[in-house]
Amino acid sequence: MTDQYDVVVIGGGPGGYVAAIRAAQLGLKTACIDRMTSGAGKGAPGGTCLNVGCIPSKALLDSSEQYEAARGALAAHGIKVADVTLDLAAMLKRKDKIVSDLTGGVATLFKANKIDYYHGHGTLHAGRKVTVAPANGGGKKEISAEHVILASGSEPMPLPSVPFDHEVVVDSTGALSFGVVPGKLGVIGAGVIGLELGSVWRRLGSEVVILEALDSLLPTADAHIARDAAKQFKKQGLDIRLGAKVTGAKVDGGKCTVAYESGGESHELTVDRLIVAIGRRAFTDNLFDDGLGIERDRRGFIEVDDHNATGMDKVWAVGDAVRGPMLAHKASEEGVAVAERIAGHKAHVDFNTVPWVIYTHPEIAWVGRTEKELKDDGVPVATGMFPFAVNGRAKAMNDTGGLVKIVAHAETDRILGVHIVGPRASELIAEAVLAMEYRASSEDLARTIHAHPTLSEVVHEAALAVGGRALHKAN
């Protein structure tokens, strides 16, 4: 007998499991299918983010930052630590425990919300029938649904000229579990993933060289932010080589020699480990049958309308598998919106206020559009910038690099973009997101009282600077 559901979600990442929880909260009989498997061979809902992405990478970023501080940065605070040693195995064990705690937490939420969880691969067929191939083997099970949400996520993008051997040449997943700190580490790609992973292993002792095919660093970020970040990365010892187009790689004797072209010349780089981090692509393998009316665009993303509906009736798609930024919080908001629309409520996602964060040190975060984008579209803008260097809290933390930049409409003063590089940028950006959601002006932020001494005062001063009246710097 085929089990019948109101909603079946295929994929248990931040888009899928959140959609399932919200659907269940709204009184819909819900099932979630996810094939992610833990090292112990058990189901591990949470998707790439919880298992091999956002969470483990942030755990290592924080651990590596603590290690680097103990090796020298604490001395500025009058704290002297002798004989600092690295226990990499313990660090990785801590990372793994955080992952298992959180994936276990998702499983607990499924039970609490009476969501049926299937550990396996789901495939959609005509009539919204779904077959589940169990992850640990066994016969397939068929279930059916009134609505189906496709939330299959994404996977690391391979570079054809640099095949993985998953030992010396790895993707972002492999880079989270090196058994030893590489003496020399190569990273292909200076995007979010490449910069974060390069930062982790540099702090732990690797000599890191990042090869980026583009001629500029972080081209999607505001130019002022990207330039400031580049200076700070260089001071830290990250060797970022722009305009470096990789043409091949060869593994021999436990090392990898990477061939690349730069400035019209051919070069080689020999490293102990190589991370390929050139981006991610939608994962839709065996997700649905052909001929159902569900289409993919030229980049492989499932085509959806403004409300995430596909071309098949009552079938939706969210997260990394569809257009828009590949961000966990964007996927979650889409999942919630779809669940609410299924239940008959009005819901939408405002892509203009999706925040971006890069968890390097300093952190980089932004929301909205850059000054260049706006000017290219003929939008008159006024900008205000303020550095962390003169902020009392930043000085107390001994963490004064970076700045906040606010871009507002020159005529209406509405905030159109906020860009931050500096300490706790990932937290500070929330104020900017809220301001833009409420369509605030820079004057609104300038007239909002910010506690002293806090890092948020830099946001306040940047808002004041839009009108040429910053208090703690010359205008």
Q: Do 27 and 93 have their domain in common?
A: yes
Task: Tell me which of 125, 345, 452, 472 is the catalytic residue.
Answer: 452
113 in a structural domain:
yes
Our count of domains for the chain comes to 3
Q: Do 48 and 118 have their domain in common?
A: yes
Residues 6+ apart with CB under 8 A from 62: none
DSSP 131-163: EEEETT----EEEEEEEEEE---EEEPPBTTB-
Q: Do 151 and 38 have their domain in common?
A: yes
Q: Do 232 and 337 have their domain in common?
A: no
Question: For residue 396, what pLDDT is reported?
Answer: 97
Q: Do 61 and 86 have their domain in common?
A: yes
Say whether the peptide bond before residue 453 is cis (omega within 30 degrees of 0). yes
Which percentage of the chain shows pLDDT scores above 90? 98
The token pair that represents 368 in the structure block: 């909205």
Q: How far apart are CA 200 and CA 162, in angstroms?
A: 22
How confident is residue 462, by pLDDT bands cut at 50, 70 and 90? very high
HEC assignment per residue over 262-274: ECCEEEEEEECEE
pLDDT per residue over 373-421, tens digit each?
Answer: 999 999 999 999 999 999 999 999 999 999 999 999 999 999 999 999 9
Q: Do 285 and 274 have their domain in common?
A: no
Domain of 43, CATH number, reads: 3.50.50.60
162 in a structural domain:
no
Q: How far apart are CA 406 and CA 463, in angstroms?
A: 6
Phi-psi region at 184: left, alpha or beta (left = phi > 0; alpha = psi -120 to 50): beta
187 in a structural domain:
yes
Matching residue, tokens 């993707």: 171
Averaged pLDDT for residues 200-226: 97
Residues 6+ apart with CB under 8 A from 40: none
Q: DSSP letter at 316?
A: E
pLDDT per residue over 328-368, tens digit each?
Answer: 999 999 999 999 999 999 999 999 999 999 999 999 999 99
The alpha carbon of 174 is separated from its chain's Cα centroid by a whole number of angstroms, namely 17
How confident is residue 1, by pLDDT bands cut at 50, 70 and 90? low
Question: DSSP 3-state assignment of 189?
Answer: coil
User: Looking at the predicted structure, is the pLDDT value of residue 165 above 80?
Assistant: yes
Domain boundary among 278, 293, 311: 278
Structural domain range at position 412 = 353-466
Q: How far apart are CA 314 and CA 323, in angstroms?
A: 19
How confident is residue 2, by pLDDT bands cut at 50, 70 and 90? confident
136 phi, psi to nearest 5 deg = -100, 20
129 in a structural domain:
yes
Say whether the peptide bond before residue 45 is cis (omega within 30 degrees of 0). no
User: Looking at the predicted structure, is the pLDDT value of residue 218 above 80?
Assistant: yes
161 in a structural domain:
no
Averaged pLDDT for residues 444-463: 98
Q: Do 196 and 238 have their domain in common?
A: yes
DSSP 209-278: EEEESSSSSSTTS-HHHHHHHHHHHHHHT-EEEET-EEEEEEEETTEEEEEEEETTEEEEEEESEEEE-S
Amino acid symbol at 313: D
**Exposed e or buried b per residue across 233-242, where buried means at least 16 C-beta atoms within 10 angstroms of its C-beta:** beebebbbee
User: Looking at the predicted structure, is the pLDDT value of residue 475 above 70?
Assistant: yes
Give the pairing of strands 129-134 and 116-125.
Answer: antiparallel
Count other C-beta atoms under 10 Å from residue 346's C-beta: 8
473 in a structural domain:
no
Q: DSSP letter at 304?
A: -
The token pair that represents 114 in the structure block: 């009476």
pLDDT per residue over 8-44, tens digit each?
Answer: 999 999 999 999 999 999 999 999 999 999 988 999 9
452 is catalytic: yes
Radius of gyration of the chain (CA): 24
pLDDT per residue over 428-445, tens digit each?
Answer: 999 999 999 999 999 999
pLDDT per residue over 100-132, tens digit each?
Answer: 999 999 999 999 999 999 999 999 999 999 999
Residues 6+ apart with CB under 8 A from 474: none
Q: How far apart are CA 12 and CA 80, in angstroms?
A: 45
Q: Do 345 and 357 have their domain in common?
A: no
Beta strand segments in 312-422, E: 315-317, 356-358, 363-368, 381-387, 403-409, 415-422
Q: Do 331 and 198 have their domain in common?
A: no
Domain of 418, CATH number, reads: 3.30.390.30
Q: Do 357 and 259 have their domain in common?
A: no
Domain boundary among 349, 376, 399: 349
Domain boundary among 255, 278, 301: 278
Averaged pLDDT for residues 152-167: 96
Count how many Cα atoms sit within 13 Å of the Cα of residue 127 in the half-sphere of its side chain.
Answer: 7
378 in a structural domain:
yes
Q: Do 16 and 131 have their domain in common?
A: yes
115 in a structural domain:
yes
Q: Do 258 and 322 have their domain in common?
A: no
pTM value > 0.85: yes
How confident is residue 54, by pLDDT bands cut at 50, 70 and 90? very high
Residues 6+ apart with CB under 8 A from 213: 243, 244, 245, 246
Residue 414 Cα distances to 396, 410, 441, 463, angstroms: 33, 8, 4, 11
